[in-house]
């Protein structure tokens, strides 16, 4: 079975919003692009979400962003997070 992987570009608006959070530059931030994975000659495909990995020496937060969805999700619980709750989590990491 042939598989086609289409890389997606990380949404610039999410990067800009996250980088405006005060003191976030003190943490390690990694933006991982999502992918569309298509199984050729079938109607099956998988959408891998974009990931934002925010970490320090002790802890790590992974935030997911799906294409065509304006919400952000925590990887562990899949609950929707707002920018305010992300700010709170970042302050706890400092």
Range of the domain at 70: 3-93
User: Looking at residues 39-64, what average pLDDT do you find?
Assistant: 92
Please tell me the pTM assigned to this model. Answer: 0.84
Given a cut of 90, whether residue 39 has pLDDT beyond it is: yes
Number of domains in the chain: 1
Long-range Cβ contact pairs of 19-24 (< 8 A, separation 24 or more): 21/83, 21/86, 21/87, 21/90, 22/87, 23/90, 23/91, 23/94, 24/54, 24/90
pLDDT of residue 29: 92
- As a whole number, the mean pLDDT across the chain is 89
Q: pLDDT grade, residue 69 (50/70/90)?
A: confident
Of 27, 13, 5, which Cα lies nearest the Cα of 65? 13
């Amino acid at each position: 079975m042939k598989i086609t992987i289409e890389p997606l570009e990380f949404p610039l608006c999410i990067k800009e919003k996250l980088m405006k959070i005060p003191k976030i530059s003190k943490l390690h931030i990694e933006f991982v692009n999502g992918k569309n994975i298509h199984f050729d000659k079938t109607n099956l495909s998988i959408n891998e979400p974009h990931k934002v990995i925010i970490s320090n020496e002790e802890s790590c937060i992974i935030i997911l962003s799906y294409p065509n969805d304006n919400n952000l999700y925590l990887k562990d619980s899949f609950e929707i997070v707002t920018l305010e709750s992300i700010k709170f989590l970042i302050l706890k990491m400092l």
